[in-house]
Amino acid sequence: MGLSKTIWTNPTEYLRNQHPENPVLFFAPQAVQAVARKFLQGFPGLVTYAVKSNPGEEVIENLIAAGIKGFDCASPFEIDLIRRLAPDAAIHYHNPVRSRAEIAHAVKREVKSWSVDSHSELAKLIEMVPVEGCEISVRFKLPVGGAAYNFGAKFGATAEDAVDLLKTVAAAGYIPSLTFHPGTQCTDPAAWASYIREAAVIAANAGVKIKRLNVGGGFPNHRVEGVLPQLTDTFMTIGDVAKEAFGADVPALVCEPGRALCGDAFTLASKVKAVRDDSHVFLNDGLYGSLFELGQIGIIDRIEVISDEGTKREGETLPRICFGPTCDSVDRLPGDVPFPSDIAEGDYVIWHGMGAYSTVTNSRFNGFGELGLVTVLNQAV
């Protein structure tokens, strides 16, 4: 997937001129820069980008241009990518389980911030990571809701374990910090408040003054028509609750958004291959392609449909069953998808807010999955 050289005005202009057979993602550099500036101005601490959500170089370069100076990486590949594109950036290696070869690679690449959620993984770090100037953040979890799915199911120590881990980190001479992730697409600011209060309790019980508190990613992106994410409220809650919970010992704050930074950077156009018997819509993209995440966290209903000539379909909304192009029956979007009633073969379905967990989880299963990537000035249809 290479970025096209031509810059088009908007998706419609491209579609009615080029009539692409493969799905196309439209990249708007202004969109990613605007949201980066919103985070930099509003978040009361360091903003780092979770590379996994979209590691496209065009995304990372525009984040750097907007002023992002830190990156959350989960693998040697991501670490090397950031070292190449932003040699001086801070890299936080926040995948709490790593092989020894991965640890050695990151040490060689001068990674100075690590996260951990278990005694056995901490023992590996103590054995292999030089103490000098290195920070280890203990990742903990809480049974709180508010997110699209719960990250605590895989990672995060219990509060009790976190106390012991934090003591061990400090005793070994590393800079002690705490971190959590409230779960992706978290629309409830109260989730951050609960975690921050618990962090203060963990630090107090460990008798350790933490240097930084990383409040994770999970900041929501605009997925549902009419429900705009309240980023500014969340930033204020985070700053206020940290001051209140830690008092004089308030740590520096860090966040690591993925989805919220890149979600609106891309709009997807998928083509209608068939409308079968007026009930099933078959697209050229689906759960094995760039719509993979819809199977996990539900439909994005910011959908518009245009004809091959670029005219907007205005029929009343009629939910349909929607299939992807592969021969696997799993390749069906969840629930019913709200398409206009006059959707027809050859039309393009435009999905807004498709920058996160889309290009990067796209597969070539069944010979599909070739994506076009086109730069546009704006994403309005």
Ligand X SMILES: *Cc1c(COP(=O)(O)O)cnc(C)c1O
| 3-state DSSP assignment of residue 130 | coil
Structure tokens at 231: 């980023």
Told to check if 98 binds ligand X by CB under 6 A, we report no
Token pair 């891309």 in the structure block, residue: 266
Nearer to ligand X, 212 or 271 (CB): 212
Q: Nearer to ligand X by C-beta: 23 or 96?
A: 96
Sole binder of ligand X in the list 98, 212, 259, 352 (CB under 6 A): 259
Q: Does 218 bind ligand X (CB under 6 A)?
A: yes
If DSSP states are collapsed to H, E and C, what string results for 159-175? HHHHHHHHHHHHHCCCE
Residue with tokens 């919220």: 260
Residue 191 interacts with ligand X (CB under 6 A): yes or no: no
Q: Does 53 bind ligand X (CB under 6 A)?
A: yes
Range in contact with ligand X (rule: CB under 6 A) among 32-40, 194-202, 254-262, 372-380: 254-262
Please select the residue that binds ligand X; options are 257, 340, 369, 372, rule is CB under 6 A.
Answer: 257
Q: Is 181 in the site for ligand X (CB under 6 A)?
A: yes
Cβ-based nearer residue to ligand X, 219 or 288: 219
86 CB contacts (<8 Å, ≥6 apart)? 60, 64, 69, 71
Tell me if 188 sits within 8 A of 164, measured CB to CB. no
Q: Kindly state the helix (H) or strand (E) to which residue 275 belongs, with its residue range.
A: strand 266-276
Measured distance CA(262)–CA(310) in Å, rounded? 26
Beta bridge partners of 348: 271, 306
Q: Is 219 in the site for ligand X (CB under 6 A)?
A: yes
- Residue span binding ligand X (CB under 6 A) among the ranges 106-114, 167-175, 213-221, 287-295: 213-221
Q: Is 293 in the site for ligand X (CB under 6 A)?
A: no
Radius of gyration of the chain (CA): 22
Going by C-alpha positions, the residue among 274, 291, 263, 272 that lies closest to residue 363 is 291
- For residue 6, the 8-state DSSP code is E
358 binds ligand X, rule: CB under 6 A: no
Q: Contacting ligand X (CB under 6 A), which of 15, 31, 35, 50? A: 50
Q: Which is nearer to ligand X, 72 or 135 (CB)?
A: 72
Residue 258 found at the interface with ligand X (CB under 6 A)? yes
Nearer to ligand X, 52 or 141 (CB): 52
Applying CB under 6 A, does 184 fall inside the site for ligand X? Answer: yes
The answer to whether 229 contacts ligand X (rule: CB under 6 A) is no
Measured from each CB, the residue nearest to ligand X is 217
- CB 74 to ligand X: min, Å: 6
Integer angstrom CA distances of residue 119 from 97, 156, 161, 201, 377: 11, 12, 9, 20, 49
Interface positions, 104-163, toward ligand X (CB under 6 A):
none
Please check whether residue 170 is in contact with residue 138, taking contact to mean a CB–CB distance below 8 angstroms: no
Cβ of residue 87: shortest distance to ligand X, in angstroms?
A: 22
Distance CA 374, CA 1 (A): 10
Question: 135: number of CA atoms within 13 Å, CB side?
Answer: 19
Q: Which stretch binds ligand X (CB under 6 A): 198-206, 253-261, 281-289, 346-354?
A: 253-261
Q: Is the distance from CB of 324 to CB of 283 less than 8 angstroms?
A: yes
Contact predicate 379/355, CB 8 Å: no
Q: Between 70 and 369, whose beta carbon lies closer to ligand X?
A: 70
Q: Is 72 in the site for ligand X (CB under 6 A)?
A: yes
Which positions touch ligand X (CB under 6 A)?
50, 52-53, 72, 94, 181, 184, 216-219, 256-260, 356
